[in-house]
A = this chain, B = another copy of it.
Amino acid sequence: MGYSYKTSINFGLVYIPVNLAVAVRENNISFNMLDKKTMSRVQYKKTCVDCNNKEVEPKNIVKAYQYEEGKYVIFEESDFEKIKTNKDKNITIEHFATLSEIDPIFYDKSYYVVPSGGYKAFSLLKRAMEELNKVGIAKTILGNKEVLIMLRVKNNQMYLNTLHFFDEIALNPYQDNDTEVDKNELELAKAIINNMTSSFKPALYQNEYKERLLQAIETKIRGQELLPAREEQPNQVSSLLDALQESLKQTTKKKLKASDDVIDIESKEVKRTRKRTTTKKTKAKKNDA
């Protein structure tokens, strides 16, 4: 497995060199662009806007910041290096906090922390963090981007989460501070929620649409027409109160039924295998042509 970043963790004066390995790999079905007439792959060619769209070779491309309409300053890789201190490149834990303090809105990407030295120190830090149930907060530069970082330990694994900065959080465009809520309806809603409460078991959620998409691909490969999906008829309910009362009835019924099925669901959870999709397509390359 390749690593996304090489860096190091500084815990007080303890230094641990580490690599970061991506913890989430999107598994989507991806498409390519084709020329309709020739069914040939579309390729991006880098062209020069002011030179009759002549192709530009990679070695002649520079990175530049536009500070005014049409005005640029060039940045070489060495320029970025100049403004990074050694501390920037390391993950220096600034302080520790508790996981529940961190609002989910801040989470960005997840990585596994893999030590490339200082194994004893790494184990020690993991153990201490997990026993105290604390997460480490740090700041570092990954690539050419400064990110806020949360280090956490669970089941003896150290995870790194990049966090968004506070000024990246947008304001909610909708505010309703004064809406009246009916006491009776609130009690009904709460009863429904309680009926519908069960534990979060991520392995149980399947990507059904993806399965249907794969089936549609099979259908197309066989040269057949796609059929529209079957539709369930939505229940029509006239008022909010009626909808709540009917929902309460239905969820109560379901809840009673569900308690009989608990053992089945549990065993399904355990059976989960971490299989990789084998349908992953090989990407067409330039030299395919």
Contact = CB atoms under 8 A, between A and B. Distances in A.
Given A87-B232, A205-B165, A274-B171, A62 B33 contact: yes
A248 B209 CA distance: 53
Question: Chain A at the B interface: mostly helix, strand, loop or mixed?
Answer: mixed
Given A104-B161, A115-B174, 5 more contacts: A49-B289, A70-B284, A114-B174, A124-B240, A165-B205
Contacts of A237: 13
B165 A11 contact: no
A168 B46 contact: no
A134 to B, nearest CB: 6
A82 B228 contact: yes
A79 interface: yes
A147 to B, nearest CB: 9
Contact of A284 (B62, B66, B179): B66
A124 to B, nearest CB: 5
Nearest to A135: B200
Interface in A81-135: 82-88, 93-107, 110, 112-115, 119-125, 127-129, 131-132, 134
